[in-house]
Structure 1
Amino acid sequence: MSTSEFKETPHIKPNGAEIAETILLPGDPLRAQFIAETYLENPVLFNEVRGMLGYTGTYKGKKISVMGTGMGAPSIGIYSWELINVFGVKNLIRVGSAGALQDHLNLYDIVIAMGASTNSNFASQFNLPGHYSITASYELLEKAKKAADAQGQKVHVGNVLTSDIFYNADKTAAMKWKEMGVACIEMESAALYLNAAHAGVNALCILTISDHVFRAEETTSEERQTSFTKMMEIALELA
């Protein structure tokens, strides 16, 4: 169990409330609130700075936290760094949405990010003498796959793209990633995996397909906030 012990940062102020060693990280803070109110027993609000809601409660007798991270590598980079290095979080599971690239992926399909390709420059801060392969924690990946199997949930495991760009001026970029077998596009996984790897802790991203890049298919903002429950239920088993 991680405890805040009245620690705080410019972005997280728990006022002495506990932050568990395992935390779910949706991009949308309202999704964090939904998870806390739907699944956790006795959830306690530990953060509301900048509206980035965070809660700690109990799930099947185990302490677990959930907190929004905002969109993009810089935002999840800030929150994950502080959770790891200030509050002692050991297992960080992003539960987010993604745009499908591959033809076999459909709305509401679940993708577990084994690796994260990226067009971000986030890794440059580590001054590595080469190209680092950005991957998930195998420990969490294995547990997530087993949890999905136990729940009868079909999941796709593979490579995703963490992009710094939502509206890309290069209209050929998505097809190039598709041709390399990348499953889907999102905006946070690579930064989370890099921060976790550098600190020696575990990270995993579980994604629900919210739209398809090459087909006119998409979910609504309300659906993304409250109906992506299958990935939430897989992630909660990792506590």
Structure 2
Amino acid sequence: MDMGQKQAYEPLVIQANMDRLSDIYELIHMTIKAIYTKYYSDKAVEFFLELHSKENIANDISAGKVYVVIFQQEVIGTGTLDGNHIMRVFVSPQFQRQGIGTLIMDFLEAEIIKGHGAAWLESSLPAGKFYHNRGYITKGYEEYPLGNDKVLAYAIMCRKNFPIDPKEFNAPSQLVRREMELQGIDLDELRTVFPKRLYLLADSLYDTMLEKNAGTLTYHVGGGVYVMDHDNSVGFVKGEMCSPGIAAQAEDLIAAGAKELIHVGFAGGYPGTKIGDVVITDGAFHDTAVAGLYGCNGEIVRSTKELTDLLCREMDAKGIAYRRGCHRTTDAGYVQPYWSAKYYEDKGVLCVEMEGAGLFSVAKFRSCRAAGIYVISDSGSGDDWNLGWGEKALEASISKVIDAITNNG
């Protein structure tokens, strides 16, 4: 398909030339009159029309800063780029909510990150939600006087996290390959025999598993992987603490060949749970930097639904009672102010721990399946902190979960 055919079937972003000046000007002014009048006073609308004058647009075209979206030889969108500053993004009203704005922004941001670390823009009221959903954060507000004691306020927004390609960040594979070479092991061969499912066990859960002599230490990677005696496709390892620790560990284990990572740990319970309850999580509300660094910018990092469903079926088959829902991952395990706890309680969160979001973020980034099982070991905070260590209910749940892992894989 040549360029002409491609333009006929899908929108295309190209750099604008002076032949497009009138089309761009008319699109912008038509959009302002159709959309901005719903949000702004006549004086403010007049300001925007003057700001995007034919002369200003022409100057930017001459400087090579203006881009247009062409569809069937028609200009249906435009955007202007000045260094790392995005300006004058407009989409024809009849083409809005069809991905054209996203197409323009993807293009402009891709240009920016070739030489800059962040994208900046000023947002109008109609566009604020769109930019926010792309990951832009409001950094401040500016005002422009309109006369008669009236001002136009607008938001200054910035985005510094952008989609990343896992293939460009293959350091874990390089590192694990070298580690294996030093042990006389070929990584490609290792990946054919490495356990596909690994349980990352917290502290005493790991110790309990060792006491059962259920596996053999086989691979010195990711902290030392034990392979289950009853099923060599399943193994376990002592899980690292906190999101950064378990994220780095997950990277190594995935590079070695793991396809499923299941975190089994302890958590503080929110109201409605009690010591010894077992929680199978659907995902983690995250108060941790790791999630954002791996491109998970939403409030929740989800576990893998298919794997979580499978764990629930396995627990059902063993007759182990559990709660299912979302939990919270935090980097500050000892700082749980009331207002913060209340926010997540109102969200229906069942418990809080310090690793899940880190694991789920890496797993999503590397296309690995991940899930989490948590045993409620404590609740409350401060003087009302109820520690469950030594309680029969907690010890019984630990035993049940370990037995389920040992006997089921």
- TM-score interval for Structure 1 and Structure 2 normalised by the shorter chain: 0.7 to 0.9
Structure of greater Rg: 2
- Are residues 1:137 and 2:311 paired? no
Amino acid at match of 2:312: K
- The equivalent position to 1:205 in structure 2, one of 365, 369, 372, is 372
Q: Which residue of 1 aligns with 2:226?
A: 55
Q: How much has 1:154 moved relative to structure 2?
A: 1.0
- Are residues 1:176 and 2:176 paired? no
Deviations 1:18-45 (CA, angstroms, capped at 9, x unpaired) = 64111110132x532431441625x235
Q: Which residue of 2 aligns with 1:146?
A: 313
CA distance 1:236–1:221, change in 2 (3 Å): same
Percentage of pairs with the same residue = 22
Q: How much has 1:152 moved relative to structure 2?
A: 1.3
Q: Which residue of 2 aligns with 1:64?
A: 234
CA distance in 1, matches of 2:396, 2:229: 20
CA distance 1:238–1:192, change in 2 (3 Å): farther
Amino acid at match of 1:198: F
CA distance 1:187–1:119, change in 2 (3 Å): same
Deviations 1:183-234 (CA, angstroms, capped at 9, x unpaired) = 0000111111111111111101001000112654322289879961222334
Higher relative contact order (CA 8 A, sep 6+): 1
Q: Which residue of 2 aligns with 1:21?
A: 196
Q: How many residues align?
A: 224
CA distance in 1, matches of 2:360, 2:325: 14
Q: Which residue of 2 aligns with 1:89?
A: 258
- Are residues 1:112 and 2:280 paired? yes
CA distance 1:15–1:33, change in 2 (3 Å): farther
Does the CA contact (< 8 Å) of 1:113 and 1:204 recur in 2? yes
CA distance in 2, matches of 1:115, 1:48: 26
Does the CA contact (< 8 Å) of 1:144 and 1:235 recur in 2? no
CA distance in 2, matches of 1:222, 1:44: 31
- The equivalent position to 1:46 in structure 2, one of 215, 219, 222, is 219
Q: Greater helix share, 1 or 2?
A: 2
- The equivalent position to 1:34 in structure 2, one of 189, 193, 208, is 208
CA distance 1:191–1:169, change in 2 (3 Å): closer
Does the CA contact (< 8 Å) of 1:112 and 1:157 recur in 2? yes
CA distance in 1, matches of 2:324, 2:279: 6
Q: Per the alignment, in what secondary structure is the counterpart of residue 302 of structure 2? A: coil
CA distance 1:33–1:9, change in 2 (3 Å): farther
CA distance in 1, matches of 2:404, 2:294: 32
- TM-score, normalised by the number of residues in structure 2: 0.49
- TM-score, normalised by the number of residues in structure 1: 0.80
Q: How much has 1:88 moved relative to structure 2?
A: 1.0
Q: Per the alignment, in what secondary structure is the counterpart of residue 80 of structure 1? A: helix
CA distance in 2, matches of 1:227, 1:153: 9
Q: Which residue of 2 aligns with 1:79?
A: 249
Moved more, 13-22 or 71-80: 13-22
Q: Per the alignment, in what secondary structure is the counterpart of residue 202 of structure 2? A: coil
RMSD (Å) for aligned C-alpha atoms: 3.2
CA distance in 1, matches of 2:277, 2:202: 18
Moved more, 18-27 or 149-158: 18-27
Does the CA contact (< 8 Å) of 1:33 and 1:55 recur in 2? no
Q: Which residue of 2 aligns with 1:156?
A: 323
Q: Which residue of 2 aligns with 1:3?
A: none
CA distance in 1, matches of 2:179, 2:395: 27
Q: How much has 1:158 moved relative to structure 2?
A: 0.2
Q: Which residue of 1 aligns with 2:387?
A: 218
Structure 2 stretches lacking a partner, 5+ long: 1-175
Q: How much has 1:100 moved relative to structure 2?
A: 0.2
Does the CA contact (< 8 Å) of 1:118 and 1:162 recur in 2? yes
CA distance 1:8–1:37, change in 2 (3 Å): farther
